[in-house]
Amino acid sequence: MKFLIAGLGNIGDEYLNTRHNIGFLVLDELAKQLDAKFSSGRFASMAEAKHKGKTLLLIKPTTYMNLSGKAVNYWMQEEKISLLNLLVVTDDLALPFGTIRLRAKGNDGGHNGLKNIAEVLNSNQYARARFGIGNDFLKGKQVDYVLSDWTDEETRILPERINQTCELIKSFAAIGINFTMSNFNNK
Residues labelled as active-site residues:
20
Fold category of 2-184 in CATH: Rossmann fold (3.40.50)
Q: Report pLDDT for 136.
A: 84
What is the identity of the amino acid at 145? Y
Q: Report pLDDT for 26.
A: 98
In this structure, are residues 37 and 49 in contact, taking their beta carbons and an 8 Å threshold? no
**Secondary structure E strands in the chain:** 2-7, 39-41, 44-51, 54-61, 86-92, 100-103, 127-132
Q: Report pLDDT for 22.
A: 97
Kindly give the confidence (pLDDT) of every residue in the chain, 187 residues in length, as a single tens digit, with 9 standing for 90 and above. Answer: 899 999 999 999 999 999 999 999 999 999 999 999 999 999 999 999 999 999 999 999 999 899 999 999 999 999 999 999 999 999 999 999 999 999 999 998 889 999 999 999 999 999 999 999 998 888 888 888 999 999 999 999 999 999 999 999 999 999 999 999 999 986 6
